Structure 1
Amino acid sequence: MDSMPNKKLHIAMFPWLAFGHMIPYLELAKLMVQKGHHISFISTPRNIDRLPKLTPSLASHIDLVRLPLPQVENLPEDAEATIDVPNNKVPYLKKAYDALQDSMARFLQDTHPDWLLYDFAPYWLPSIARKLGISNAFFSIVTAAFLSFVGSKAHFGERKNPEDFTVPPTWVPFPTTVTMRFFEVMKVFQGGISTDKSDVSDIFRVVEVLDGCDIVAVRSSMEFEPEWLRVLEDLHRKPVLPVGQLPTVVYDNGDETETWLWMKDWLDKQAKGSVVYVAFGSEAKPSQEELTDGYDLHRKPVLPVGQLPTVVYDNGDETETWLWMKDWLDKQAKGSVVYVAFGSEAKPSQEELTEIALGLEQSKLPFFLVLRTRRGQADTELIELPEGFEERTKGQGLVCTSWVPQLKILAHESIGGFFTHSGWSSVVEALQFERALILLTFYADQGINAKVLEDKHIGYLIPRNEHDGSFTRDSVAKSLRLVIVEEEGKIYRDKAKEMKALFGDRTSQDRYLDSFLDYLISHSKNICS
């Protein structure tokens, strides 16, 4: 037993098919490899190919396992991640994911890892692991507060009406304002609590993996949400282990970005020499008539590349695109810029985008807006900025429709606040750089995340209509000014600075990782047997 801490584990990891899930799993994998362990990272071929490239030292200890995704009716061809499909097609992606049961069982039987870490979606996986005698953990990239709010299997079905989710759960033993708003509940009812086209609801999936796993590992820390971690452990009567916040680092090995890989995938399907590449530099801009006539004349495939070309990092070299962005940021006053981005999954409606844009304009604050106009090739509902917006705000802000180096932007001293969807990865990235948060939620765990942040005065929620979720440009402008410049909002700026010690401390992260790995080593069925 004395040598047990030196035991090197083989750990299999199986995240959900969303890059917002795969990347935190990969970050944890890399940290565990640095401690001497071996990882099998399991996903589908296209997703594996789109992951950030690993350094040789990491790649030799991380096996990238490709399981072909079964084709299901109504799922667009080549769709293997949520970024490939609009929201209404995600249920078909879950159905295809569920069809990986046999492939996963064969892989686990052949390799018999010491531990299996999986996401919320494969509700069928705990029973497979148990049958094979493999120690297994649900690794949650969402907070303990959200998992506690969901409840346990014993509580499943207890809340039948939307209104039941707008009040604190009966099993939470302390007063709290952390609940969902009515419009957030309705979005979840429409796409998660009620049975979707995958025939299994998201809430059922979460409850089943929580019930079936040996332990729960959470991307969190005792310093941030001790009360919710205790509630979660009391609910499920099993170990709940925080693994730290997993602050993201800038890749230094020439990683290919999501945007470039999406472009490359399209280019690979075109005949050799058939594509016309159209770009007019960073200064020239054709009129609407010129743009329309040019497209109609040639009738060849045209790949829109956005205002700024996607870039990669190469050993930390600064690229032309980043330098252009940095040049603009350098000209802004310290702490004055609002950085606006809603992640790779969230997409505002056209009405929401209009209010966001006009609110930015009305705030008079300098802004850096990252806009994703569609979710995959199957998404036909393109969103557009209000007419004349870019011309009117030319001296006020930047608009980027392609990938940007978010960590570098957040690290820049001119950034005063982050207008975000409340996705936890984005929250972690912002708080490690002391950026105040302005919160606008869209779906899933974001509502609970935002309430937790608001409850701790770390973030400010944009005021919205509680019934339909609508908001106005006035509320956007006032919220931005409150958090970024007004004295009344100083509490949010101060709290964000306090959070750096929790979200950016590598030493603390290392301690959480060591504690987690010690547990895995001492409780592996392979070792204990």
Structure 2
Amino acid sequence: MSDAAAAATTKLDVVLFPWLAFGHMIPYLELAKRLAARGHAATFLSTPRNIARLPPVPPHLSPRLRLVALPPPAIVDGLPEGAESTADVPPEKNELIKKLADGLASPFAAFLAGAVAAGRRPDWIVHDFCHHWLHPIAASHGGSVPCAAFLIVQATTVAFLGPRWAHAAHPRVTREDFASPPTKWCPSFPPGVAYRRHEADWAVGAFQPNASGISDIERMWQIIERTRFTIYRSCDEMEPGVFTLLTDLFRKPAIPAGVLLQPDLAGDNDGSLSGVRSEVLQWLDSQPPKSVIYVALGSEAPLTTNNLHELALGLELAGVRFLWAFRKPTGMSAPGTDVGELLPAGFEERTRDHGLVWTGWVPQVAVLAHGAVGAFLTHCGWGSTIESLVLGRPLVMLPFVVDQGLIARTMTERGVGVEVARDDGDGSFGTDDVTAAVRRVMVEEEGKTFATNAERMKEVLGDQQRQDEYMDELVGCLIRYKDDNC
């Protein structure tokens, strides 16, 4: 039977278990929706508070898509009461969220035992980078339940970090080791894609055990080595050649799931709440075409007051229209701190005629799709980068943590934007650095090239037939490898 015929007749029961960060949970939920839309049963696991904060499951999918809450550990030393995701803590406490995630091993085992006892043994468990303890549990219930890893980071980042054998042959332990591409064991790696020195401390730390007792890299290596294949939120058009490279490096199939974003199906695309069009979209309606730069750095970027001031003053000096989705950085200010206290004195008043600082909900996909938006100033989270390019918006890039720097370098090589210049040693940037980057993309002649390249990316990533084919090919892999190891 062909893969297409098998996919048409075989129905799977898949459990999906993401890391406790909303940048991971949302793509996992999108994957679950696409499986359910193809007639497969999908069970999404997280903790009670996270489940409550997820968007509702569309009614037509609810018969096949379940959200199941696993009870978290009652106490994790150092975590505030009720913290169940990285959104609940400052960045330095993320390693304690990993410890909390490890405490889900027993509830997960109980869930799986109950499913098997009820005659609902899953066909697959699809899980994240952190669940190094999951495979032995899956192997001991009702026969071995096969596992696949779904890594929602840029696939190029995983290639940069590399497999265990490469690190053993060519150890990297210092900032300088990560400030150049891994050409000793990967000669074909893009020469411009590496960490800056100020970013490389994260990579150095990722190879060291943290408060959870195990390093992030050891977690990733164990899950890739134990799973039958690895799935990525990406595609050949987004990262040409990287899936063949990853398959060779890790000696396991690397499977693209596509970008998992359909703009017409990505929630309330008109930004409406209770039938009322979002105020930010109403504001955009009054702006000229492609005149606004949308600014959003996520909710977890480790910003300082100085960062915010330099960014604000740089936007002001650039003289372009802007919409700033402003989020108070976690742990930066006391409850009740007014946004005006975090920005330069008088900034909002001076820019009121051409800028909007918005602290409420922002329908990001709808904003990026709006005709008034000409570019996106972003922290280069992988989800935000995908959204921008699917909608054809060039980038002004200000990365901070984890893989964001590597994403920025990759997008620079693709010619879809520029980075804000920063000091290589400490990562500092100034008003003029922000102004120069914004004007290069929004004002100067060079910006036309970035916009053209972003539009070309939109054409290929917006090919929904091709994106559906990636999902169908993934389902074919789940069917083909269900009973056979790779």
Common fold by TM > 0.5: yes
Structure 2 counterpart of 1:81, from 61, 67, 85: 85
Is the Cα contact below 8 Å between 2:199 and 2:401 reproduced in 1? yes
Matched, 1:448 2:406: yes
5+ long unaligned stretches in structure 2: 116-120
Following superposition, the deviation at residue 479 of structure 1 comes to 0.6
> 2:128 corresponds to which letter in structure 1?
D
Map of 1:166 onto structure 2:
179
CA distance in 2, matches of 1:215, 1:130: 16
Matched, 1:341 2:296: yes
Tell me: CA distance 1:81–1:11, structure 2 relative to 1, closer, same or farther (3 Å): same
Matched, 1:351 2:285: no
Alignment of 1:311-390 (within 5 A): 313-314=273-274, 317-319=275-277, 322=278, 324-375=279-330, 384-390=342-348
Structure 1 counterpart of 2:198, from 183, 193, 196: 183
Question: SS at 1:33's partner residue?
Answer: helix
CA distance in 2, matches of 1:504, 1:58: 23
Deviation string 1:430-470 (CA, Å, 9 cap, x unpaired) is 11211110100010111111111011112211111111001
Map of 1:149 onto structure 2:
160
Map of 2:118 onto structure 1:
none
CA distance in 2, matches of 1:448, 1:371: 24
CA distance in 1, matches of 2:263, 2:153: 19
RMSD: 2.3
Tell me: CA distance 1:419–1:242, structure 2 relative to 1, closer, same or farther (3 Å): same
Deviation string 1:85-144 (CA, Å, 9 cap, x unpaired) is 111221111101111112212322332310111111112223333444111111011121
Deviation string 1:159-213 (CA, Å, 9 cap, x unpaired) is 11111001111222225211111101124445x3332211222222222222221
Matched, 1:122 2:131: yes
Is the Cα contact below 8 Å between 1:338 and 1:419 reproduced in 2? yes
Map of 1:215 onto structure 2:
229
Question: SS at 1:12's partner residue?
Answer: strand
Deviation string 1:47-98 (CA, Å, 9 cap, x unpaired) is 0111001122212111111101102111110111111111122111110111
> 2:111 corresponds to which letter in structure 1?
F
Map of 1:396 onto structure 2:
354
> 1:180 corresponds to which letter in structure 2?
Y
> 1:202 corresponds to which letter in structure 2?
D
CA distance in 2, matches of 1:144, 1:101: 27
Tell me: CA distance 1:75–1:464, structure 2 relative to 1, closer, same or farther (3 Å): same
Alignment of 1:97-496 (within 5 A): 97-111=101-115, 112-132=121-141, 133-156=144-167, 158-169=171-182, 170-174=184-188, 175-190=190-205, 192-249=206-263, 313-314=273-274, 317-319=275-277, 322=278, 324-375=279-330, 384-496=342-454
Structure 2 counterpart of 1:16, from 16, 19, 32: 19
Farther off after superposition, 117-126 or 8-17: 117-126
Map of 2:94 onto structure 1:
90
> 2:16 corresponds to which letter in structure 1?
M
Map of 1:68 onto structure 2:
71
Tell me: CA distance 1:195–1:142, structure 2 relative to 1, closer, same or farther (3 Å): same
Q: TM-score, normalised by structure 2?
A: 0.91
Following superposition, the deviation at residue 347 of structure 1 comes to 4.1
Following superposition, the deviation at residue 327 of structure 1 comes to 3.2
CA distance in 1, matches of 2:76, 2:84: 11
> 2:93 corresponds to which letter in structure 1?
K
Is the Cα contact below 8 Å between 2:304 and 2:332 reproduced in 1? no
Deviation string 1:322-367 (CA, Å, 9 cap, x unpaired) is 1x32332122221111100012322421111111000000000000
Following superposition, the deviation at residue 23 of structure 1 comes to 0.3
Map of 2:6 onto structure 1:
4
5+ long unaligned stretches in structure 1: 256-310
Map of 2:49 onto structure 1:
46
Following superposition, the deviation at residue 379 of structure 1 comes to 7.2
Map of 2:473 onto structure 1:
515
> 2:199 corresponds to which letter in structure 1?
E
The runs of 4+ residues in structure 1 deviating greater than 3 Å are 1-4, 187-190, 248-255, 311-314, 376-383
CA distance in 1, matches of 2:276, 2:440: 34
CA distance in 2, matches of 1:167, 1:14: 34
Is the Cα contact below 8 Å between 2:22 and 2:85 reproduced in 1? yes
Is the Cα contact below 8 Å between 1:85 and 1:379 reproduced in 2? no
CA distance in 1, matches of 2:83, 2:177: 35
Question: SS at 2:60's partner residue?
Answer: helix
CA distance in 1, matches of 2:289, 2:99: 48
Following superposition, the deviation at residue 400 of structure 1 comes to 0.8
Following superposition, the deviation at residue 501 of structure 1 comes to 2.1
> 2:122 corresponds to which letter in structure 1?
P
CA distance in 2, matches of 1:13, 1:138: 10
CA distance in 1, matches of 2:93, 2:350: 36
> 1:447 corresponds to which letter in structure 2?
G
